[in-house]
Amino acid sequence: MSRIGKHPVKLPAGVTATITDAEIIVKGKLGELKTHIPHGVTVKEENGELVVRPISDDKEHRMLWGTVRANVHNLVTGVSEGFKKKLELVGVGYKAQAQGQNLKLSLGYSHDIDYKLPQGVQCATPQPTTIELSCADKQLLGQVASEIRSYRSPEPYKGKGVKYENETILRKVGKKK
């Protein structure tokens, strides 16, 4: 039995869900998101809640049960509240500047990096060393944050690079005399 799959997903006020055989579309104040429902799992709306159930007690259907419920929960949370990620730039001269749908990064290379943000992702730089990303789609937000971090991953000696807000960098000991 899936422990996550058993719990229904509550639909907040202002959020509607449309369920077809192969996908679910959720609409809210922050937009519209949809996801594919794999064969072996059903999603139904009952009393203002979305209930996910496997078709049978087959192992493959039970494996998909919790995953589909988590994806549906992320859709509902995304269109009602949205998701946020913060990135920090650590290093001398490292800075970021948001310019509409572009993000200009100075990360110690001979040139600046211009990163074009996908549709639906908002970026703010309250300080030159802090990047705040927000989006309704959790998967897209994580992908964008990962791509920005990959331009200069934190190194283990001084911790210089682009890191997530609460990420801890395992440090190595430098040279000893």
The reported pLDDT for the residue numbered 2 is 66
The reported pLDDT for the residue numbered 174 is 84
pLDDT along the chain (177 residues), means of 10: 85 93 92 93 92 91 91 95 96 94 94 95 96 96 96 94 93 87
Residues 17, 33: Cα–Cα separation, whole Å? 10
Domains of the chain: 9-80 (3.90.930.12), 83-164 (3.90.930.12)
Here the tokens at position 169 are 């960098």
Residues 136, 142: Cα–Cα separation, whole Å? 11
The reported pLDDT for the residue numbered 15 is 93
The reported pLDDT for the residue numbered 1 is 61
Q: What is the C-alpha end-to-end distance of the chain, expressed in Å? A: 58
The rounded radius of gyration (Å) of the Cα atoms in the chain is 21
Q: Which amino acid is at 34?
A: K
| Helices 59-80/138-150 angle, 10° precision | 80
Collect all residues with Cβ–Cβ distance below 8 Å to 113 and sequence separation of at least 6: 104, 105, 106, 107, 151
Report which of 30, 157, 134 is spatially closest to residue 87, judged by C-alpha positions: 134
The reported pLDDT for the residue numbered 113 is 95
State the pTM of this model.
0.89
Report which of 163, 176, 8 is spatially closest to residue 90, judged by C-alpha positions: 163
